[in-house]
Structure 1
Amino acid sequence: MSSSAFGLNCTLTPSPTASSTQKMLDLILGAIASHGVATSSARVVDHDVKPGVTADEGNGDEWPALRKRVMDADILVMATPIWMGQPSSIAKRVTERMDAFLGEIDEHGCYPTFGRVAIVGVVGNEDGAHHVTAELYQALADVGFTIPAGSSAYWVGEAMGDVDFKDLDKVPKKTTETINTLASNAVHLARLLKKNPYPAPK
């Protein structure tokens, strides 16, 4: 049974400038692809995603096209940098736009996102990866995504340091192990849910 994964890079840095968040996202998607899953990604800041909480805010809003790619995938990977101990403003805008899913719950109580898996990747030069992960996983679960077992994939450098993830000569072994575990669990869960969808609530 074929599966697909779509990554949202929530960096503040437009293309084509190198991005630590993109490096993390590419590592996660690469690990997912090793399980025979088709992958793709988008850098959200390169798109005109309007503020709001609807599926389409009009006036050239480019969220609908990104949202379609989210909904066409079995696995969503959200990757964000840490800024001031928080997910990026881009990541928060994405979760705000996902609020529209709550208005699309059907008469049986099923969310349009049911059966889709979501995982998170985080990079930063300060502590806060667990806090950022908690914020994003809470939002993603609230709008109907399923979270697999295991830690989020993250790397944080020395507080007040000047070394970015993209500049590392070698990815730390523990980070690689965490990415591989998270990817394996995400693919396994997505395939289980595809074969056995959530039942309609009674």
Structure 2
Amino acid sequence: MLERLDAELSQTDEQGRPILFGKVGVVAVVGNEDGAHHVIADLGQGLADVGFTLPAQGSTYWVGQAMHTTDYQDLDQTPQVTANATQIATRNAAHLARLLEARPFPAR
């Protein structure tokens, strides 16, 4: 995904801003705790590098019980802590998007 987004780096809008400026990103991960944090850090940095803005607490992840083989897709419902984190990330992303729409990044 990030490689494809690199192709957008040379594209600009009418005011000369990179076209991904003003876009809001969040990161969602399924995996183990340390791995999820690592992926969130790498993807967050990669998204910021190409112009996305990430909100406060703009990530969410699910980790299964240690030493078990339960997959997220096999759960009957989303665990409450994951649902809460997802709701916060979504709410903060929507808020940030409204702010950036009203007050875009300055042009060159």
**2:50 equivalent in structure 1:** 143
* 1:45-98 CA-partner distances (Å, limit 9, x unpaired): xxxxxxxxxxxxxxxxxxxxxxxxxxxxxxxxxxxxxxxxxxxxxxxxx11011
Higher strand share: 1
**Separation in structure 2 between the aligned mates of residue 191 and residue 151 of structure 1, nearest angstrom:** 15
Is 1:113 aligned to residue 20 of structure 2? yes
Q: CA deviation at 1:109?
A: 5.6
Task: Choose from 50, 64, 79 the match for 1:172.
Answer: 79
1:188 maps to a residue whose letter is: H
Q: CA deviation at 1:154?
A: 0.5
Any idea what SS the aligned residue of 1:154 has? strand
What 5-or-longer segments of structure 1 have no aligned partner? 1-93
Any idea what SS the aligned residue of 1:188 has? helix
Higher helix share: 2
**2:60 equivalent in structure 1:** 153
**2:10 equivalent in structure 1:** 103
1:153 maps to a residue whose letter is: T
Q: Structure 1 length normalisation: TM-score?
A: 0.49
**Separation in structure 2 between the aligned mates of residue 200 and residue 165 of structure 1, nearest angstrom:** 43
User: Identity over aligned residues, as a percent?
Assistant: 52
What 5-or-longer segments of structure 2 have no aligned partner? none
Q: Structure 2 length normalisation: TM-score?
A: 0.87
**Separation in structure 1 between the aligned mates of residue 66 and residue 52 of structure 2, nearest angstrom:** 32
**1:192 equivalent in structure 2:** 99
